[in-house]
Amino acid sequence: MDLEQVKNSVRNIPDYPKPGIHFKDVSTAYQNSDVFRYIAEEIHEKYKDLGITKVVGIESRGFILGGVLADKLNAGFVPVRKPGKLPAKKYSQSYQLEYGFDTLEIHQDALVKDDIVLIHDDLLATGGTISATIDLVHLFGVSKIYANFFIELDFLQGIKKIDEAVPVWSLIHF
């Protein structure tokens, strides 16, 4: 298995969810056990020695690998969800995304100052979702934040929206 095989396992769906968007469907990569395992192992290798205590997964596709990474890193898992999904007191952050506006929420007791956090999502596009999530995590005054993506769409330059103090790493680039 190599990165080119992983890249080729991602399905491209033109004009979804609206004309002009080329949606990267990760489900075709995740349904292949060899590809899925390779992705998880490669990301784990990158972060295994950094003392990660919590993995924050962004709804919803960030939950898939986020949970696996939390297990492999012996860390807790924290979901960042869309409005109305979390039952306890929460912080909220609104943001602009590729094709509209949205809001994300996190429980107010999800993180502590000593946490070293890896934020994971499946894809970095324009950077709105990750920037909002970083803003939420900053509210806790955590020790360190890292951001990770399975895929980065380089041409959209979403990395430019990310706080420069947050190291970012993506497994594959389109």
Give yes or no: 98 in active site.
Answer: yes
Selecting among 4, 11, 98, 105, the annotated active-site residue is: 98
Those residues whose C-beta lies under 8 Å from the C-beta of residue 17, and which sit 6 or more positions away, are 23, 99
Measure the CA–CA gap between 64 and 10, rounded to whole angstroms.
15
Give yes or no: 59 in active site.
Answer: no
Integer CA distances (angstroms), 85 to 79, 80, 82, 107, in order = 10, 9, 6, 10
Encoded tokens for 139: 């509210």
Encoded tokens for 120: 């994971």
Measure the CA–CA gap between 127 and 121, rounded to whole angstroms.
11
Selecting among 4, 45, 59, 61, the annotated active-site residue is: 61
Measure the CA–CA gap between 40 and 118, rounded to whole angstroms.
14
Would you please indicate which residues are annotated as catalytic (active-site) residues?
61, 98
